[in-house]
A = this chain, B = another copy of it.
Amino acid sequence: MTDQEKLFIKMALDAWHIQIDRTNSLINSLSDEQLQQEVAPGRNSGVYLLGHLTAVHDALFPLLGIGDRMYAHFDEIFVNNPDKSGLPKPGAQELRTSWAAVNGKLSQHFGSFSLKDWFTKHTAISDEDFKKEPHRNRLNVLLNRTGHLANHLGQMIFLKS
């Protein structure tokens, strides 16, 4: 691995952890009641966004080929349907625990990835397409999910009064 390659992996992981840490600080500062509020009138609630982020991060296990889903049933509630679907949702405490569990396990995997692991294709692209589009690797997934988290974190900040 060249020095640049090592540095880039560190920078991409730092960018991920910056958004994760900010999200953790935010939700730790909020009561369950605050988390249940809509982030803005008529918009998603904090619990919906936290469940949504947990489901999307949990989906990284199969997408990156590093394990099975921990909370596959979250997809129906938090990805395939909107906040006001009427589907029963896990409580705030359960969501906090699930969010921490998924990211903790992801961090363990990320910390053990070699450069080659990061530049391996994700599981949603064929070998043939990956030859033509080699940027569609695990590291690219990390960068994209960092952006996704950052988008929603910007919204969740509004839960703070």
Contact = CB atoms under 8 A, between A and B. Distances in A.
How many copies, total? 2
Q: Is the interface of A mostly helix, strand, loop or mixed?
A: helix
Contacts of A43: 40, 158
Interface string A67-81: 000000000000000
Interface string A118-140: 01000000000000001101011
A5 B7 contact: no
B15 A119 contact: no
Interface string A138-161: 011001101100111111011000
A15 B5 CA distance: 18
A67 B102 CA distance: 43
Contact of A10 (B4, B40, B135): B135
A84 B147 CA distance: 29
Interface of A: 2-5, 7-8, 10-12, 14-15, 18-19, 39-41, 43, 115, 119, 134-135, 137, 139-140, 143-144, 146-147, 150-155, 157-158
